[in-house]
Amino acid sequence: MPATTLPQIEVARVVAMAAIYLFHLWSVLPEGAGGGWLGAASGQGYLGVVVFNVITGLVLAWPHLGPERRPIPGWRDFLRRRFLRIVPAYYLALALWAAIATVVGGQVPSIASVVTHLLFVHTLSPAEFFTIVPAYWWLGLLAELYLAFLLVLRFHRAIGPWRGVAVVCTASWGGWLVLDALARPGSSFALVNYMAYYNLPYRLPEFSIGIGLASSLRSGVEGRQPGLAPAAVAGVVGSCIALIAVAAALPDLAPLVHVRLVASCVATFVAFLAVPLVAHAGRKALVGRLAAASYGFYLVHQPILGYGADLLAPALGPRAAYWLLLIGAGVVAFQLSRVLDRLASAVLARLDPARAA
């Protein structure tokens, strides 16, 4: 197994994607359709995005902060590799859902919607960032991270990874508190404050924490389990618990609520990484296939759930529709994601034969 591969991350990807899927299922059906604890848990599934953000920072930084200590790549080479990784499947999915929306729903996406999505700037436009497929807002955030990542990585290396995390969290969340105080309803501050939640200023700490975790990971050598050392697990979880306690003692403001949620996700994620059974599960072929399909699944699952809910509403009650969509739409989305991945690989082979090989 390569030094930069963590089997626990494969499991975490699958769990995070499942949480997001449950959230979008919950969002297209009447409240309470899932029933009891499942419905309540599904409503919190959007936090899977936080986990994906942490994973992204970790995976991108580990080759440079982990045991291998690779040199930081050039900006052009890094962006070329990262955007080639996400663009083919994204553009194919964008074309698919734009065409279906036009043919089935009679909703022709505007030129502005298409262009801003193609350029990954739809997340910066209040009129466009939830158009075509609302879940694609995360692609805009991811593109912003790619553009900023090498600067952020150099900053963390220059002052120390965890000190970098502290500075980024203080600056980002502190700025959020200031802007939130200025954001009176209907003001321009309110709009900027709302949009910033979906963009890098407010979400950078999640990626930064992943970068910090990358510096504390150890490779699986000399019989040791790959992952965080016990002292690192205790330190991160303890810091998150302290952060949750401090944020909970302060006024119930949106930035502080988000801080508590992020700290809860990070503590759970880090504890998750430390469980040997998780590493064992991550080496299973099935988990590997599901993890590999997670990006394509993200690109296709939300419209399938939405169209499926519309089709089933006249014939089934909310509870029956929930369970049918949970299983049926999941199978359809997984199979479609595999087709999308194959098509994207074919496109990539033409654009970059060396990388495809």
pLDDT of residue 223: 47
Task: Write down the pLDDT at residue 3.
Answer: 42
Going residue by residue through the chain (357 aa), what tens digit of pLDDT does each one get? 344 468 899 999 999 999 999 999 999 998 777 777 777 788 899 999 999 999 999 999 999 998 788 999 999 999 999 999 999 999 999 999 999 999 987 789 999 999 999 999 999 999 998 999 999 999 999 999 999 999 999 999 999 999 999 999 999 999 999 999 998 888 889 999 999 999 999 999 999 999 999 998 876 554 456 678 788 899 999 999 999 999 999 998 999 999 999 999 999 999 988 888 998 999 999 999 999 999 999 999 999 999 999 999 999 998 899 999 999 999 999 999 999 999 999 998 887 776 655
Residue 218's beta-bridge partner residues? 227
Indicate the pairing of strand 217-218 with strand 227-228.
antiparallel
DSSP state, residue 109: P
Helices 137-159 and 48-65, packing angle to 10 deg:
40
Where are the strands (E) in the chain, listed by range?
217-218, 227-228
CA distances from 202 to 183, 198, 256, 325 (A): 15, 8, 12, 33
What is residue 4's predicted lDDT score, i.e. its pLDDT?
Answer: 46
Would you call 5 helix, strand, or coil by DSSP?
A: coil
Write down the pLDDT at residue 355: 61
The per-residue b/e assignment along 53-72, b for 16 or more CB within 10 angstroms, e otherwise, is bbbbbbbbbbbbbbeeeeee
**Residues 163, 1: Cα–Cα separation, whole Å:** 31
Query: Which residues, in sequence order, are bridge partners of residue 228?
Result: 217
DSSP 70: P
CA dihedral 204, 177, 265, 161 (to 10 degrees): 40
Q: Where along the chain do its domains lie?
A: 7-356
Joined tokens for residue 21: 């899927």
Q: Could you give the angle at the alpha carbon of 50 between the alpha carbons of 176 and 267, nearest 5°?
A: 100
pTM of the complete model:
0.93
User: Alpha carbon of 228 to those of 9, 48, 165, 216, 278: distances in Å?
Assistant: 12, 21, 17, 6, 13
Neighbouring CB atoms inside 10 A of 234's CB total 13
Angle at which helices 161-182 and 254-273 pack, to 10 degrees? 150
pLDDT at residue 1, as a whole number:
35
